[in-house]
Amino acid sequence: MMTSVKQNSQTDTLRASQVSLKNWGDPPESAREGAVGRNVAIDCGWGRLIFGQTFDDAKFLAKTLSQEVESQRDVAIYVHEPHVVLSYAPQSLFLDPSHTFRLDLTRQPERAMKSKHFTIRAAEKGDEKGINRLYLGRDMVPVSKGYIDQQKLHSAVEVLVALENEGAGEIIGVVMSVDHQQALQDPDNGSSLWALAVDPQAPFPGIGEALVEALADRRAKAGRSFMDLSVVHDNHEAIALYQKLGFEQIPVYTIKHKNPINEKLFIGPAEDARLNVYAKIIVDEARRRGIQVEIEDTEAGLFRLSHGGRSIACRESLSDLTSAVALSRCDDKRLTHRLLEKAGLRQPEQIIVTKDQDVTEFCTGHKRVVVKPASGEQGRGVSVGLNSVEEVTAAIKRARELCDSVILEEYVTGQDLRIIVINEEVVAAAIRRPPIIKGDGETSIKALVEKLSRRREAATIGESSIPMDDETFRCVRAAGHEMSDVLPKDESITVRRTANLHTGGTIHDVTDILHREMRTAAITAAQTLGIPVVGLDFIVEDPAKPGYAVIEANERPGLANHQPQPTVEKFIDLLFPQTKADSNRSTT
């Protein structure tokens, strides 16, 4: 009890003496000495960081917030008497339901930031596209054009990026920091952290934590006393991470301007809150354009869109515009194969299993085989790269649990490419990769798979996870291990042969480099199937070079998987072309 009383006393003392914590009453002496900046607002690329403690006039602070630039997001933090500020613009401003956490940098040891998987450095020219890819992929506001590449950053702003050490060295993490001393001659000698984003498909953990620690180390070396950050009150995973790193909650109020970006923070629980990400992204875009949305069944992702007398029912990206005949052409993989073969598109050889002799003969003619149900989606029941009659027979048995008709298909080596065609236009293309674990010499393969699965599930709001089934066990055994083995340090295992996102795969955009031969083939396939929206699966050696094999067509592709490509915008353009002129959004 005595400890609690002492802590409360210390908090009260800080609130009375620190301008950043003083919520009401007269400001502390440090703020009245004239050294602190007045009416300070710093451009952070995604909007302005407005320092509420530098505003003497609550009405002027409300007016400043109301001048927010369209498609950006301003944040007023350390607001003095927020209820008064809100009273001047109650229809356009709201109290942000976020907590503020503070890390005491005076007590922090020097942090080791080295990782063999990624490197952290200051952002530089050429990083802007990679940074905005992460922000757009996380539904965050991208930085304005030229903010990074043309070095338009304010002197108080610093941006750090994490780059993957292997492969193309892509940016897989970004964080921004503001030095309050430089921004406003802060008497509290503070700093803050903003806009942390991590690639949800990174194959290893710890990127966000490392970026936070890198900033803390840099700010501590610069002599700052603390680093603050803001996080939505129900983001329990992020809060747990920050508390683990030593952050403690502080009594700070934040005010924001009402806009479509912030809408979910001030309208209360939405009817569509339980929609999956593939349905919700479409519903959000429709509402942004003023299209009426009626949710018919959240679990199934069913909704109806209405505008100007036109009404269209949808199940995620499947709509009334896809005919029952077109749907059947895609759903029956054997029929899809025959139709695309007639259209002159290259495909792997396949047969329908009717008797045991079919299996033996097909396996004799092909070194490796794919087994899949003739009808189905999301990679369920698919086994890839089988090289024995025994494996194929077992896979056929599993596939028949989902569909009586089972296909044997020639295994084609190469990369798994998904192309999205909407209204006979290639809108997005991405390479899909199967889930891969990397050993640390201490953790069992089973635990590594479970950890990767949890990360994929968290990053996709529950849409992606790695099943602990016979296919996963087979892939691990094919690599010479059992699930209980400890995977040697730096050894990697592909734990699923399929690259389907629903079973833990990752997706990497290649739209800009897609070869024209694949573009032409994809459009031909969509025309042949007579389908307005389709996801086509190709196997290619290189998406930038000619050469392909079409594997199958998906009549209900996940449009959310291809952000920041404008898949959802193009989908709504197709459904309601009269709203197209209003559909432009900033993707800088």
Mean pLDDT of 93-101: 96
Residue pLDDT, tens place only, 186-232: 999 999 999 999 988 887 778 999 999 999 999 999 999 999 999 99
Top mean-pLDDT range of 14-23, 307-316, 407-416, 488-497: 307-316
Residue pLDDT, tens place only, 121-150: 999 999 999 999 999 888 899 999 999 998
Mean pLDDT of 224-253: 93
Give the contacts of 488 (CB within 8 A, at least 6 positions apart).
439, 441
pLDDT band at 360, cuts 50/70/90? confident
Amino acid at 542: D
Q: What percent of the chain stands above pLDDT 90?
A: 55
Residue pLDDT, tens place only, 265-316: 887 766 666 788 899 999 989 988 889 999 999 989 999 999 989 999 999 9
Please give the mean pLDDT across all residues of the chain. Answer: 88
The secondary structure of the chain in percent helix, strand, coil, rounded to multiples of 5, reads 35, 25, 40
pLDDT band at 10, cuts 50/70/90? low
Helix axes 389-400, 356-365, angle to 10 degrees: 130
- CB-count burial class (<10 Å; 0-12, 13-18, 19+) for 167: exposed
CB 432 within 8 A of CB 416: yes
Mean pLDDT of 519-527: 98
Residue 586 has a pLDDT of 39
Q: Please state the φ and ψ torsions of residue 352, each to the nearest 5 degrees.
A: -95, 130
pLDDT band at 378, cuts 50/70/90? low
pLDDT band at 376, cuts 50/70/90? confident
d(CA 72, CA 129): 17
Residue 113 has a pLDDT of 59
User: For residue 284, how many C-alpha atoms fall within 13 Å in the half-sphere facing its CB?
Assistant: 18
Q: What percent of the chain stands above pLDDT 70?
A: 91
Q: Which residue has the higher pLDDT, 283 or 376?
A: 283
CB 39 within 8 A of CB 54: yes
Residue 588 has a pLDDT of 34
Q: Does residue 110 have a pLDDT over 70?
A: no
Residue 3 has a pLDDT of 44
DSSP string, 323-377: -HHHHHHHHSHHHHHHHHHHTT-----EEE--SHHHHHHHHHH-SSEEEEESS--
Residues in the chain: 588
Residue 583 has a pLDDT of 47
Residue 13 has a pLDDT of 59
d(CA 181, CA 283): 43
Residue pLDDT, tens place only, 445-482: 999 998 888 878 777 767 778 888 888 998 899 889 99
Q: Does residue 245 have a pLDDT over 60?
A: yes
Residue pLDDT, tens place only, 539-565: 999 999 999 999 999 999 999 889 789
pLDDT band at 60, cuts 50/70/90? very high
pLDDT band at 105, cuts 50/70/90? very high
Q: Is 144 helix (H, G, I), strand (E, B) or coil?
A: coil
pTM for this model (two decimals)? 0.73
Residue 5 has a pLDDT of 42
CB 537 within 8 A of CB 551: yes
User: For residue 455, how many C-alpha atoms fall within 13 Å in the half-sphere facing its CB?
Assistant: 22
Q: Does residue 336 have a pLDDT over 60?
A: yes
Mean pLDDT of 88-108: 93
Residue ranges in 253-332 assigned as alpha helix (H) = 263-266, 277-288, 324-331
- The neighbour count for residue 147, using CB atoms within 10 Å, is 23
Residue 1 has a pLDDT of 41
